[in-house]
Amino acid sequence: MPVIESVSAIEVLDSRGRPTVKATCALAGGVSASASVPSGASTGTAEAIELRDGDKSRYRGLGCRKAVANVNGPIRHALHGRTVEQQADLDQLLLALDGTPNKSRLGANAILAVSIAFARAFAADRGVPLYQHFADMLGLTPTTLPRLTVNLFSGGKHAGGQVAIQDVLVVPASAKTIDESLAAVFAVFQAAAELGVSEYRVRPLRADEGGLAPPFPSVAVMLDDAVRAITDAKLIPRDDVAIAIDVASSHFYSDNKYTIDGDALDSAGMIDRIALWLDAFPIVSIEDGLGEDDWSHWPALRRRLRGRALTLGDDLLCTNPERIKRAIDAGAADALLLKVNQVGTLTEAGRALALARSAGWRVTVSARSGETEDDWLADLAVGWGADQIKIGSITQSERLAKYNRLLEIEAATRLPLIGWPNP
Ligand code: PGA
Ligand code: ZN
């Protein structure tokens, strides 16, 4: 049973050069491990609160010194010398110490960094790989590796809003391994970069998650270009490489209207627009097709997509068990985008996963647009049996750390890729 010797934290920088929290947890047995936490830009309003300093003279208010001080002060004090039998006990201690419903006192960034650093130290103490430890935490046995969904084109808040929707992702569908998947993605990415030069006369500049962001005139052209890139790479759209999209529509929804491609659509119009894309392109998953508060229309969206594409909730659900329960009851979605930092502890994220699974939902484990070189996400996706993993593009080291970790896990375990979207 691990006994916590000490916890500490420092401020480090994420992939946007913004501060985040890196925590270290040392156990009495001599093992010590660290973890750093990511940060979103297109955040849902129901997310747990990242504590930021608000001092405009430093990092435009984004500093994390207060969150770091909370780890080095009250959290360290509360955990020192504690025997912690399991992750849930540690997380419960942190939640009680915070005492707010949204982790605004200590900060979800402080709490999660400690939660994951402890998990990693615990895994090392047990002498098991982190993915195995994550699996054991929920009583699961890893039998598959997650299917990749990889950002090809970016728009919305990650690319200066040149086009309304946020991500067009490629899903290597016929690949049998992570290794084959990445080679297919590379081929499509190169073809897309060349297409950007020939079609838009732009250098292949990249958005926050590494996706390409040429000035597409419309969403339909963006999707069409993705299909062209797949074909140019000598792969068959849908059979070899399918498409997933993150509409991230909360971010262009106001006064009951979706402002997209020069139109102001009501919710029914937005659903019709999505159905048009589905008819024209090999799309297998639609994330946040409607806004996070447009609850009354989500069931209709799901009925429209059912049997053709996943209705995936990100901002809608915020990895929050209460919101997931509401969505299950309403028939509003059939897939969960799981981002641990949206809810703030591993235990609560595990509860979100169990709830989604109890309703037969698919689960995508996802990175954030602001990431670090830490790779725990890959272990989490494998350990928790995710159907999909969404990390970003294949161009930046904060993304590649996770892809490379998946390659390592694949080499070590020889687990097969999950059969989605092709059975
Ligand atoms: P975020 O975006 O990390 O900026 O919130 C990711 C997503 O919307 O899926
Ligand atoms: Zn999203």
Question: What is the chain's pLDDT, residue by residue, as a tens digit (423 residues)?
Answer: 899 999 999 999 999 999 999 999 999 999 999 999 999 998 999 999 999 999 999 999 999 999 999 999 999 999 999 999 999 999 999 999 999 999 999 999 999 999 999 999 999 999 999 999 999 999 999 999 999 999 999 999 888 888 999 999 999 999 999 999 999 999 999 999 999 999 999 888 889 999 999 999 999 999 999 999 999 999 999 999 999 999 999 999 999 999 999 999 999 999 999 999 999 999 999 999 999 999 999 999 999 999 999 999 999 999 999 999 999 999 999 999 999 999 999 999 999 999 999 999 999 999 999 999 999 999 999 999 999 999 999 999 999 999 999 999 999 999 999 998 886
Q: Tell me how far apart the alpha carbons of residues 114 and 370 are, in angstroms, rounded to a whole number.
A: 18
Contacts of 56 (CB under 8 A, 6+ apart): none
**CB of 94 closer than 8 Å to CB of 114:** yes
Residue 29 Cα to ligand 1 middle (Å): 38
Q: Tell me how far apart the alpha carbons of residues 252 and 164 are, in angstroms, rounded to a whole number.
A: 7
Structure tokens at 220: 């339909």
Residue 353 Cα to ligand 2 middle (Å): 17
Per-domain boundaries in the chain: 4-127, 147-413
**CB of 156 closer than 8 Å to CB of 251:** yes
Length of the chain: 423
Which residues have CB under 6 Å of ligand 1?
Answer: 40-43, 166, 246, 248, 314, 366, 368-369
- Give the residue from 150, 144, 52 showing the smallest Cα distance to 104: 52
**CB of 289 closer than 8 Å to CB of 309:** no
Give the position, in ligand 1's atom list, of the atom nearest the Cα of 157. 4
Give the position, in ligand 1's atom list, of the atom nearest the Cα of 337. 9
Alpha helices in 292-333 (DSSP H): 298-305, 321-330
Q: Tell me how far apart the alpha carbons of residues 366 and 224 are, in angstroms, rounded to a whole number.
A: 25
Give catalytic residue positions.
209, 339
Residue 293 Cα to ligand 2 middle (Å): 14
pLDDT of residue 202: 86
Q: Tell me how far apart the alpha carbons of residues 326 and 322 are, in angstroms, rounded to a whole number.
A: 6
Residue 126 Cα to ligand 1 middle (Å): 33
Query: Which bound ligand lies closest to the C-alpha atom of 288?
Result: 2
- Give the residue from 388, 380, 383, 327 showing the smallest Cα distance to 358: 327
Q: What are phi and psi of 32, to 5 degrees?
A: -140, 140
pLDDT of residue 46: 93
pLDDT of residue 283: 98
Q: Which residue has the tokens 């060349």?
A: 194
Q: Tell me how far apart the alpha carbons of residues 354 and 109 are, in angstroms, rounded to a whole number.
A: 23
Query: Which bound ligand lies closest to the C-alpha atom of 368?
Result: 1
Residue 43 Cα to ligand 1 middle (Å): 6
Give the position, in ligand 1's atom list, of the atom nearest the Cα of 39. 3
Residue 211 Cα to ligand 1 middle (Å): 13
Structure tokens at 214: 């040429």
Q: What is the CATH number of domain 147-413?
A: 3.20.20.120
Nearest protein Cα to ligand 1, atom 8: 42
Taking the C-alpha atoms of 210, 211, 217 and 220 in order, what is their torsion angle to the nearest 10 degrees? -160
Three-state DSSP string of 350-411: HHHHHHHHHCCCEEEEECCCECCCCCHHHHHHHHCCCCEEEEECCCCHHHHHHHHHHHHHHH
Give the position, in ligand 1's atom list, of the atom nearest the Cα of 390. 9
Q: Which residue has the tokens 């897309």?
A: 192
pLDDT of residue 150: 98
- pTM to 2 decimals? 0.98
pLDDT of residue 94: 98
Of 158, 372, 389, the residue with max ligand 1 atoms within 8 A of its CB, to mutate for a pocket test, comes to 158
Q: Which residue has the tokens 């059939």?
A: 334
First to last CA, the chain: 42
Q: Please provide the DSSP assignment of 235-286 as one string.
A: --BTTTEEEEEE--GGGGEETTEEEETTEEE-HHHHHHHHHHHHHHS-EEEE
Is domain 4-127 given the CATH code 3.30.390.10 in the classification?
yes
Give the position, in ligand 1's atom list, of the atom nearest the Cα of 366. 9
Q: Give ion ligand 2 contacts, CB < 5 A.
A: 246, 314
Angle made by CA atoms 156, 159, 160, in degrees to the nearest 5: 80
Of 16, 339, 342, the residue with max ligand 1 atoms within 8 A of its CB, to mutate for a pocket test, comes to 339
Of 317, 319, 366, the residue with max ligand 1 atoms within 8 A of its CB, to mutate for a pocket test, comes to 366
